[in-house]
Amino acid sequence: MSDTSPEETATSERARLPSASLAPAAVLLAVVINMLWGTNPIALKIALRSLPPIGSAGIRFAVAAVGVWLWCRATGVPVAPRRGEVPWLAAVGVFFVLQISTFTLGVYWGTASHSTVLLNTYPFFVLALAHFLIPGDRATIGRAAAVAAAFSGVVVLFAGEWGSWEGTNLLGDIVQLTSAFILGSQVVFLKHAVARVHAERVVLWQMTIGAAAFLLYSLAFEDLAGARPSAESLSAVIYQGVMIGTVCFTVWTLLIRRYAASRVAVFGFISPLVGVALSALVLGEVLGPTLLISAVLVAAGIILANLW
């Protein structure tokens, strides 16, 4: 006898059949959470002023895990894994740890503005992978062309600034592009996971696994226990834990459960625009014409991919 409730079974069946287009309310949610996501590299850069990179990830996802647990309690979602769910939750946790580690190190070694543009190339990878790995989520020639146009924004960024990186900035950019590929793969896998496990439970356990892995690593290799975080760094980490870790990840996962993964992912075009602007306003990073052209190409291509 299955221990999955009728409500969860119905939800799981719906998750297997992605909707072709987003409802107006879903569009609004996708816009809002991607605007918030655009603030993430800037908040992380502030947190890293007095916290070690992996340790900061551990703290923010520990905060997020508590937030998602409270969300589950409020909505009546059981938090304990059900029979057959552990392998899916473990795999989601591995994806999460790899993606967040590379994202955090990419920001640490690079700049928030570059990280914002490069990370948000992940919809390209979602579109390509979903075509082969998610039934009913096929790419069209028009959407593929739009994605190719947007990817030219990344080419412009690298070609226009080749030889001008300082210190570890190039390494940061390469790591951040790797993070984008991992994130795209994670989205596709997540679509299959939430067809079998309740979405909020997926978010809770990926946050819990991530927080435990990051904190243990940081305590062992980064001397997290000896860190003396400033008030601004702590505020940035708490903001990330509540708004990014709890709100954005939960809403985003719910959207992926209900709609085609590639349709949800393309709203990432908002994040680089928000992130690039805030990098200049908050961090004082210089925005040259190459970076601005790159951001516009990325945004335009992903908008067209969504329309087609």
Burial 273-300 (b: 16+ CB within 10 A, else e): bbbbbbbeeeeebeeeebbbebbbbbbb
The SS3 assignment for 275 reads: helix
Measured torsion, CA atoms of residues 116, 119, 125, 127, in degrees rounded to the nearest 10: -40
Q: pLDDT at position 91, please?
A: 96
pLDDT in 10s for each residue of the chain, 308 residues: 344 454 444 444 444 445 556 788 988 999 899 899 889 989 999 999 999 999 999 999 999 999 999 999 999 999 999 989 999 999 999 999 999 999 999 988 888 878 877 887 887 788 788 878 777 767 677 777 777 777 777 677 666 655 555 555 788 889 999 999 999 999 999 989 998 999 999 999 999 999 999 999 999 999 899 999 999 999 999 999 999 999 999 999 999 888 888 778 778 767 777 877 788 888 887 767 777 787 788 777 767 766 66
Q: Which residue's structure tokens are 């990840």?
A: 249
Q: pLDDT at position 248, please?
A: 94
Query: How many other CB atoms are there within 10 angstroms of residue 2's CB atom?
Result: 10
The Cα 230–Cα 233 span in angstroms is 5
The Cα 113–Cα 119 span in angstroms is 10
Helix, strand and coil in the chain, % to nearest 5: 80, 0, 20
Q: pLDDT at position 302, please?
A: 65
Whole-model pTM above 0.75?
A: yes
Query: How many other CB atoms are there within 10 angstroms of residue 131's CB atom?
Result: 16
CA 131, 132, 134, 136 torsion-angle sign: positive
What are the structural domain ranges in the chain? 22-307
Q: pLDDT at position 173, please?
A: 87
The Cα 303–Cα 298 span in angstroms is 9
The Cα 31–Cα 6 span in angstroms is 32
Q: pLDDT at position 51, please?
A: 95
Contact 190, 253 (CB under 8 A): yes
The Cα 172–Cα 82 span in angstroms is 39
Q: pLDDT at position 202, please?
A: 95
Burial 242-258 (b: 16+ CB within 10 A, else e): bbbbbbbbbbbbbbbbb
Q: pLDDT at position 257, please?
A: 87
Burial 151-168 (b: 16+ CB within 10 A, else e): bbbbebbbeebeeebeee
How far are the Cα atoms of 31, 212, 228, 280 from residue 50, in angstroms, in the given order?
31, 21, 7, 21
